[in-house]
A and B are shown apart, each in its own frame.
Chain A
Amino acid sequence: MPHLHEDKIKFLEEMANQIRQDVIAMVSHARSGHIAGPLGMADIFAALYFHILRHDPKHPEWSERDRLILSNGHICPVRYAAMARAGYFPVEELKTLRTFGSRLQGHPHRTILPGVETTSGPLGSGLSQAVGMAIVAKMDAKKINIYCLMSDGEQECGQTWEAAMLAGKLKLDNLTALIDRNNIQIDGMTEDIMPLEPLRQKYEAFGWHVLDINGHNFEEIANAYETAQAIYEKPVLIIAHTIPGKGVDFMEFEYPWHSKTFKPEEAKESLAQLRTLQGKIKSEHE
């Protein structure tokens, strides 16, 4: 991946902000769907789609592309927004989220939206699929990176650890997983519902190389993925510490925003906050 110079960081910041606005517009328009997770992951999605991934939005089936598996399918609005902005499909289509006949299903569906890579929503099965892909990339001697995104909530699923154990055994150094460590799930804070810590040591014990980063800092995100490429004989886990609902003050850190429905004035207020964010955005103010 190319060096991350200052102009590119600025570009990524603006793109992430745009993606957040898209997410809010989509979810408030659909009047259902998840919000805190997608907002918290917007920076990572901007970095992936506009800096890290080797892909071709015009040829989503290109066989040499990196694979990006979204295990926690419920945050798909952020993936859809990033994909649309990257040119996979018209931005206009974002409005159809969760409606009858849309390619943007409430949880992503592989066979109707090229580029989605796999169907997800039921938690805890993404890492296994990513491991399967990484095994084949090695078998076929292909230089394809397999990226898997997971939530912290799904670290409670047994299957996640079955996959982690296998990846460690097979030394899948073409696999880089990332956990959205936002500390929330539906019923409350993860450490109250089911303590996950020490996450780092757990994965290390399973044979992984683990990196902790600030999931809102583009240099840290890019560095982590770059480091991951340099690590041999181990799969890499990036624990991305994120703020759920990032960018909208009344949502940040609040677990009920996992999938709360917007009141119209809340959607308006969210957009206003994002559009004026630290004066970085040139778009119209409301």
Chain B
Amino acid sequence: MPINPKAKLVEHLLDVKAIEQKPTRDGYGTGLLAAGDENPSVVALCADLMESTRTEAFAQKYPDRFVEMGVAEQNMASVAAGMALMGKIPFISSYAMFSPGRNWEQIRTTIAYNEANVKICGAHAGVSVGPDGATHQAIEDIALMRPIANMTVFSPCDSVEAHKATYAAAKITGPVYVRYAREKTPVFTTAQTPFEPGKAMAFWVEPVRTKPDVAIISCGPLTHNAILAAAELEREGMKVRVINNPSIKPLDKETILKAAKDAKAIVTVEEHQVAGGMGSAIAEFLAQSYPVPVEFIGVQNRFGQSGTPTELIEHYGMGAAHIIEAVTRVIARKS
């Protein structure tokens, strides 16, 4: 199988039935705990969503380093800024729609402009939130966080990577946004899979000494769909590279530039509005450095709605079949 051996992925990667399923927010819970065990400066704040954001384990183990804010996300952001300015490393958590959705300006000014060392952890990002509907499905959060100077932005692909991203956030000095999802999704990376801020990695590679026909660059749980699409495309004789890109900011320019040069056609995949998301970050970079055709998988200027996660991923055009169609389109645009 054309899996990159350096990625150390699980074996039964394509077996959708057998693969373990966990929500990425679980990785927030364990990553926060690990960071807290190691560094007593790590503190956590939550706005009446302890259990569903997975802040609970930390709050129970370290009640003196936890502050329950009540339903007050704006206050939470600036209180965390204050705590950071006193030397703590606050992790603030709510649904992404409310943090960083509701408290954006507090994050921009009192956290980022202040260079306050606060980690903003947004649960329930994407339409896969499901039945709660559009009001609770954050599909603009990457676009909100990416343009803020000093901000680092991570979108992990499974619960294991989410753990690493959370843990890494504690080691970075400065504001970090990490995006998590509600729904259970395949756990396909392992503890050995590398995670490094500013680094992307090919999970699926073209045959050695060949060039790929297309490079798919993906973040979040949809990376698994991108791999399923690649497997299907491979059966059709196509050479594909799938790059998992959890570090939206800073971007791994080297890996992305090489992909553009090798494949000369890019498809980006994310569970987010196409406008302002990870795909935009890549397009901004490539437009200047090495323009190639790009097709974007993501939500196209619409709101979410109630439904099952699978129904919604399909309805908004982010299933494996949609990725395959985008590959066909982008290859047709190659000069």
A interface, CB within 8 angstroms of B: 30, 32-33, 73, 98-102, 105-107, 109, 119-124, 153-154, 156-158, 185-187, 193-194
Contact = CB atoms under 8 A, between A and B. Distances in A.
Contacts, number: 92
Interface string B269-284: 0000000000000000
B102 A109 contact: no
B7 interface: no
B70 to A, nearest CB: 3
Contact of A122 (B48, B74, B97, B130): B97
Contacts of A101: 305, 307
Given A122-B98, A154-B71, A106 B48 contact: no
Given A185-B71, A186-B52, 13 more contacts: A32-B131, A100-B308, A105-B133, A106-B131, A107-B135, A109-B134, A120-B135, A121-B132, A122-B97, A122-B136, A156-B69, A157-B71, A186-B48
Nearest to A123: B71
A123 B133 CA distance: 15
B135 A100 contact: no
Interface residues of B, number: 31
A100 B310 CA distance: 11
Interface in B29-70: 46, 48-52, 68-70
B136 A121 contact: yes
Interface of A is mostly: loop
B295 to A, nearest CB: 26
Interface of B: 46, 48-52, 68-72, 74-75, 97-98, 101-102, 130-136, 305-308, 311-312, 315
A157 B68 CA distance: 14
B133 A124 contact: no
A124 B71 contact: yes
Q: Which 5 A-B pairs have the closest CB atoms?
A: A194-B70, A100-B307, A121-B135, A156-B70, A106-B133
Contact of B134 (A30, A100, A105, A187): A105
10 contacts: A32-B130, A32-B131, A100-B307, A106-B135, A106-B136, A109-B135, A122-B136, A156-B48, A156-B72, A158-B75
